[in-house]
Amino acid sequence: MLRVPDGRVVASTDVLVEGRHFRRNWSSPADVGVKAAAQNLADIAAMGALPRTLLVGLACPSDLAVGWVLDMIAGLVAECGRAGASIAGGDVTSADCIVLGITALGELAGARPVTRAGARAGDVVALAGHAGWSAAGLALLQAGTAGPGELAGDIGALVRAHRRPEPPYAAGPAAAAAGATAMLDVSDGLVADLGHIAAASGVCVRVETAGLPDCEPLQAAARTLGVAWQDWALAGGEDHALAATFPPLAALPDGWRIIGDVREGEGVLVNGERWNGRGGWEHFR
């Protein structure tokens, strides 16, 4: 039983499938647990709520090593600890592949819930956390540039960001308290997710790539692979950074950096133009 003294609970659920959302040869079981927890707990923070409880459903082959499951659960527990939540229960069954069904619950603790629909022309757009690091890390793994084990420098930081995203949980409730008008966590890619705010709010969201924070590691990795770093920053998903809009005179909480603004209109403009990149993570492609 979860106690929510203000009588309001928010919830989020996600399904992770082996081979699609993680690969056992690229991620340790603890990494898988961390990532599974992080993506749901970030959803809760993005509503301006405090993550409190995780429910875990696991379907896996009956010959999966128990050690793998225990290490994965250790990852779930570790990430819950980072977010201030705990695991309340779950369900285990057998299947041909590993599937995780994770549900996170949170409490608003008196705050109003922040949705995607409140952005207004004149607001600023801000980001807390990294954009594109996870996608860059995945690209490095796919290119064979990075193998298993610990890695140093920028490449190491990007691969770690892919294996273990670090959502800035506290930035969510702080943004709500500072008056954020719309918020979400960047799971599909920055442009795609800002597009969700634009559509839900009936506005145009403008982003300037010059304002994107922490791009040096992306630029270094892009030079190595001969690609454009902006593709990762604008279309890379699964970092679970938080993106929000704030009234123009709001004092941004710690960790938030302005990356654009909101105008009348529709859709997302990057450096003043419709962006023709990949457009973010799409299911069923």
Nearer to a copy of itself, 10 or 250 (CB): 10
The CA-based dihedral angle spanning residues 156, 160, 161, 163, taken in that order and rounded to the nearest 10 degrees: 140
Nearer to a copy of itself, 102 or 127 (CB): 102
Residues forming beta bridges with residue 182, ordered by sequence position: 245
Nearer to a copy of itself, 94 or 271 (CB): 94
Nearer to a copy of itself, 27 or 230 (CB): 27
Tokens 């892919």 locate to 162
Residue 138 backbone dihedrals phi, psi, to 5 degrees = -65, -40
CB of 275 to a copy of itself, least distance (A): 25
CA distance 45 to 111: 12
Nearer to a copy of itself, 4 or 258 (CB): 4
CB of 33 to a copy of itself, least distance (A): 16
Question: How far does Cα 263 stand from its chain's mean position?
Answer: 25
Name the 3-class secondary structure at 51: strand
CB of 277 to a copy of itself, least distance (A): 22
CB of 193 to a copy of itself, least distance (A): 15
Residues that bind a copy of itself (CB under 8 A): 1-17, 19-21, 47, 53, 55-59, 62, 88-97, 99-103, 105, 108, 113, 283-284
CB of 269 to a copy of itself, least distance (A): 29
CB of 233 to a copy of itself, least distance (A): 24
Between the alpha carbon of residue 262 and those of residues 197, 204, 258, the distances in Å are 10, 6, 11
Nearest to 206 by CA among 272, 143, 250: 272
Nearer to a copy of itself, 89 or 248 (CB): 89
CB of 165 to a copy of itself, least distance (A): 17
CA distance 132 to 165: 11
In 145-266, DSSP assigns E strands to 182-186, 204-207, 241-246, 256-263
Nearest to 45 by CA among 176, 233, 197: 176
Could you tell me whether strands 182-186 and 241-246 are parallel, antiparallel, or unpaired per DSSP bridges?
Answer: antiparallel
Nearer to a copy of itself, 16 or 220 (CB): 16
